[in-house]
Structure 1
Amino acid sequence: MPTEEKQKSTPAISGFEPYVATKGEEYMGEPMRKHFTKILSQWKQDLMVEVDRTVVHMKDEAANFPDPADRASQEEEFALELRARDRERKLIKKIDKTLQLIQDKEYGWCESCGVEIGIKRLEARPTADMCVDCKSLAEIKEKQVGK
């Protein structure tokens, strides 16, 4: 089961191959932007299919159980499913924002310090908007403040 959860948290594209930059290739040139647009678009499509599947599942499985325990179990299952879909809805918004950054040719640079985020990090988390160093510092500050 942990493998399945991992696949849902990162883009799992059939036929996905890591990007191999050619010698002297410009960082976030057209080929790289196309690569990340494909990854993000497929990831968004997969999330949208999951949303549709949830709606169908909830319609099909909705029942008015006479037993309060059965009804409570179903309500809890639906609540967990809706919570997961809410997280995915927020992720879809972040994917849309990232696709817009690609279109505006502003994708791939840290929003805090301006350095290249790096292809490997972006393939691991295509919606990343900070380099590893800035993200680590932000997480440390967040822990200290207690947010």
Structure 2
Amino acid sequence: MDEKALLAMDQADYMNAEQLAFFDARLLELRQETLDEIEASKVDINYERVSDVSDRATLEEEAQLALRLADRKRQLIPKIDKARQRIRQGDYGYCIESGEPIGLARLLIRPTAEYSTDIKNINEKRERRYEDKR
């Protein structure tokens, strides 16, 4: 099944076995791509010795950026695993707060989504208000 066929399915078919299999495969692929990207970023970090101070500073800055990016990607792995666990439990595709469907379009963009768009917006507004009060 491809994205077009998935989106063409009837609303009554939401999170049927075929859709769950589609998203499980997509999450598995995303997990492997993420692991590959983490490995590639480790290889890209250049630890060669450079005598020039400015060249060394540039290399250290690039290495720090690569490590930060790899760490961000590493944080995605547990989210992918958690989403796959929700598939096995039958909870995938539904907001963990409201129980409402998250929606196929949102899941195609962000297969690890746990919240519907409405709940996510409400939570982000709460976070901003909390940060503003600090």
Name the CA distance, whole Å, in 2 between partners of 1:24 and 1:146: 38
Please state if 1:94 is matched with 2:74: no
The 1:138/1:132 distance shift into structure 2, 3 A limit, reads same
Partner of 2:52: 67
Deviation at 1:124, TM superposition (A): 1.2
Name the CA distance, whole Å, in 2 between partners of 1:27 and 1:17: 14
TM-score normalised by the chain length of structure 2? 0.89
Partner of 1:127: 112
Count of matched residue pairs: 131
Give 1:78-89 correspondences, 5 Å limit: 78-89=63-74
Match of residue 3, structure 2, among 12, 17, 30: 17
**Where does structure 2 lack aligned partners over 5 or more consecutive residues?**
none
Partner of 1:117: 102
Match of residue 54, structure 1, among 35, 41, 55: 41
Deviation at 1:20, TM superposition (A): 3.3
Report sequence identity in percent: 35
Deviation at 1:113, TM superposition (A): 0.8
Give 1:26-65 correspondences, 5 Å limit: 26-58=13-45, 61-65=46-50
Instruction: Single out whichever of 130-139 and 25-34 deviates more from structure 2.
Output: 25-34
What amino acid is the match of 2:69?
A: A
What amino acid is the match of 1:41?
A: L
Name the CA distance, whole Å, in 1 between partners of 2:8 and 2:84: 20
Higher relative helix content: 2
1:86-132 deviations in Å (ceiling 9; x for gaps): 11000111111111111111111111111111111111111111111
Deviation at 1:21, TM superposition (A): 4.8
What amino acid is the match of 2:3?
A: E
TM-score normalised by the chain length of structure 1? 0.82
Task: Say whether the 8 Å CA contact 2:7–2:105 is kept in structure 1.
Answer: no
RMSD: 1.9
The 1:24/1:81 distance shift into structure 2, 3 A limit, reads closer
The 1:54/1:34 distance shift into structure 2, 3 A limit, reads same
1:36-55 deviations in Å (ceiling 9; x for gaps): 11111111111111111122
